[in-house]
């Protein structure tokens, strides 16, 4: 899972003595805020008293950190009566509204901060995050670029822009931005993690592994990096090494359901079904709503020919995830192995209804029809599987077998097409 860099709440404030010089005030912006009320201007003296006391800001930080966004906004509104030109107050208001998923309000708050201080790079970064929350990747990128234009060494903006470009599928551009983040800070583990994610998608597994390892060296408790490293190693067939990384993730976080599930997959591929089952059950014990773990458990039980328990696991996966196409197809296979051909066909039909291009569902349905004696329909389903996946060797093999059975039946005069198509 890719994590976004956090919005920065008080980037302009280094310490109490630097409070005034860190916040630049634009006179035109002040005029926009105050309108024609010159008396209010004189009374507030915004340049001298631009920000509230540090203690008030620390209280806001605490409210925000505790997730008390509504309470923080209420306090901000009170403080804005006294400090209407406070960059920090508008910045925290933006972050609080973002915490409430009120992204439009968040963007308005950050823009108010920029009216006061047009060089406030962090507000542009945070606006980018808000647009990202809205799903508007293009506007997010525009604002990250503006933040970088103001501050060419802005690590978080490079990271966030890299993530937005990743979401757009622009992997090379994303990697370029992550490398810029490394230029500004070479000791940030999450940057190497993000680069590894992009390289994995590109298929450059060797360099992805290198970057995941770099992330764990910089941050030895980086569970997600161990998990993803394990996934790549499993893809490369390095099952023992994959299991070692899943174990490392679990050592750091004993309640890491994904690590147990993926370690179960590694054991299942390795043929150790008992250990696979134990790990899937542990994943489910941690997260009872883990549909994928139920599906994987069903597959392992199917491998042990514990068919009823297997079917029950697939049913539970579907209950948790009603459009779980893999679970329907796998359940069809388990029904077929149980000799329950009608239910096998119905499960595969449901899988195909969800995904008409699911070649495995046609293949499994072909097998059930073949054993049921519906030879012509079995051939039709194998053909559909092959049309979707021309390299489906098992479908070719079973289709040829069904065709030979049809030919033998015709030669012996005992072949009739099924009456119920």
Give DSSP secondary structure letters for 70-135: HHHHHHHHHHHHH-TT-HHHHHHHHHHHHHTT-HHHHHHHHHHHHHH-TT-HHHHHHHHHHHHHHT
pLDDT in tens, 44-63: 333 334 788 888 889 998 99
d(CA 186, CA 195): 13
pLDDT at 409: 81
pLDDT at 3: 34
Q: 368 pLDDT exceeds 90?
A: yes
Q: What is the per-residue pLDDT for 12? A: 26
Confidence class for position 41, pLDDT limits 50, 70, 90: very low
Question: By CB neighbour count within 10 A (0-12 exposed, 13-18 middle, 19+ buried), where does 81 fall?
Answer: exposed
**What's the average model confidence in pLDDT over 255-275?**
97
What is the widest separation between alpha-carbon atoms in the chain?
107
> Residue 31 pLDDT more than 90?
no
| 69 to 12, 66, 100, 109, 403: CA distances (angstroms) | 21, 8, 7, 14, 68
The position carrying tokens 């005069």 is 413
Indicate the length of the chain as a whole number: 421
Token representation of residue 252: 């750091």
Question: Which pLDDT score, from 0 to 100, does residue 292 have?
Answer: 97
Helix axes 291-303, 325-337, angle to 10 degrees: 20
Q: For the chain, how big is the Rg over CA atoms in Å?
A: 30
Mean pLDDT, rounded, for 19-24 = 28
Task: Grade residue 415 by pLDDT with cuts at 50, 70 and 90.
Answer: low
132-135 long-range contacts, CB within 8 A, separation 24+: 132/4, 132/160, 132/163, 132/164, 132/167, 133/98, 133/101, 133/103, 133/106, 134/103, 134/104
Residue 148, pLDDT > 90, answer yes
Work out the number of other CB atoms within 10 angstroms of the CB of residue 285. Answer: 13
Say what the pLDDT of residue 39 is. 31
Residue 5 reports pLDDT greater than 80: no
Q: Averaged over 295-300, what is the pLDDT?
A: 97
Q: Which of 296, 379, 306, 299 is nearest to 338 (CA)?
A: 306
Structure tokens at 168: 């757009």
Q: What is the pLDDT of residue 25?
A: 26
* pLDDT of 312 strictly over 60: yes
Instruction: Please state, in angstroms and rounded to a whole number, the distance separating the CA atoms of residues 128 and 188.
Output: 21
Band of residue 217 on the pLDDT scale cut at 50, 70, 90: very high
CA 116 to chain centre: 36
Q: Looking up tokens 């941050």, which residue turns up?
A: 219
Identify the pLDDT of residue 413. 65
Interaxial angle between packed helices 54-65 and 87-99, expressed in degrees from 0 to 180 and rounded to the nearest 10: 10
Q: Which residue has the tokens 């790990």?
A: 279
Structural domain boundaries in the chain = 1-151
Is residue 42 predicted with pLDDT exceeding 50?
Answer: no
CB-CB contact of 351 with 345 (8 Å): no
Distance CA 112, CA 121 (A): 13
Residue 416 has what pLDDT? 52
Mean pLDDT within 378-389? 96
Query: What is residue 414's predicted lDDT score, i.e. its pLDDT?
Result: 59
Is residue 72 pLDDT above 90, yes or no?
yes
- Average pLDDT score over residue span 196-207: 96
Question: Residues 5-10: what's their mean pLDDT?
Answer: 38
pLDDT, greater one: 250 or 56:
250
Average pLDDT over residues 31-51: 37
Interval 207-217 mean pLDDT: 97
CATH topology of domain 1-151: 1.25.40
CA dist 36 and 29 (Å) reads 13
124-130 mean pLDDT: 96
| pLDDT over 70 percentage in the chain | 86
């Amino acid at each position: 899972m890719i994590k976004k860099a956090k919005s920065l709440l008080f980037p302009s404030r280094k310490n109490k003595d630097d409070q005034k010089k860190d916040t630049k005030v634009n006179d035109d912006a002040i005029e926009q805020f105050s309108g024609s009320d010159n008396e209010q201007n004189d009374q507030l003296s915004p340049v001298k008293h631009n920000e509230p006391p540090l203690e008030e800001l620390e209280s806001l930080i605490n409210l925000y950190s505790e997730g008390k966004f509504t309470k923080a906004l209420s306090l901000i509104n009170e403080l804005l009566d006294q400090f209407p030109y406070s960059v920090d107050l508008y910045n925290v208001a933006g972050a609080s509204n973002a915490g409430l998923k009120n992204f439009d309000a968040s963007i308005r708050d950050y823009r108010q901060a920029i009216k006061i201080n047009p060089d406030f790079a962090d507000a542009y970064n945070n606006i980018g995050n808000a647009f990202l929350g809205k799903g508007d990747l293009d506007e997010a990128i525009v604002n990250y670029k503006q933040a970088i234009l103001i501050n060419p060494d802005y690590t978080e903006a490079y990271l966030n822009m890299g993530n937005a470009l990743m979401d757009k599928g622009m992997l090379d551009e994303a990697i370029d931005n992550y490398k810029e983040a490394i230029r500004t800070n070479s000791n940030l583990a999450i940057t190497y993690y993000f680069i590894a994610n992009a390289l994995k998608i590109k298929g450059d597994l060797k360099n992805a592994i290198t970057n995941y390892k770099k992330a764990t060296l910089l941050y030895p408790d980086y569970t997600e990096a161990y998990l993803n490293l394990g996934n790549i190693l499993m893809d490369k067939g390095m099952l023992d090494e994959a299991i070692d990384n899943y174990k490392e993730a679990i050592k750091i976080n004993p309640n890491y359901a994904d690590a147990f599930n993926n370690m179960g997959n590694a054991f299942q591929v390795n043929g150790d079904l008992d250990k696979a089952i134990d790990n899937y059950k542990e994943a489910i014990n941690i997260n009872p709503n883990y549909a994928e773990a139920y599906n994987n458990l069903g597959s392992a039980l199917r491998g042990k020919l514990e068919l009823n328990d297997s079917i029950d696991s697939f049913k539970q996966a579907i209950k948790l995830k009603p459009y779980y196409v893999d679970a329907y197809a796998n359940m069809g296979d388990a029904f077929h192995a149980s000799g329950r051909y009608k239910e096998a066909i119905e499960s595969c039909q449901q899988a195909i209804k969800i995904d008409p291009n699911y070649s495995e569902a046609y293949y499994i349905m072909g097998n059930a029809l073949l054993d049921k004696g519906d030879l012509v329909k079995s051939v039709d389903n194998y053909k559909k599987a092959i049309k979707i996946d021309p390299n489906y060797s098992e479908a070719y093999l079973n289709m040829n077998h069904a065709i030979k059975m049809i030919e033998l039946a015709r030669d012996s005069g005992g072949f009739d097409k099924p009456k119920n198509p």
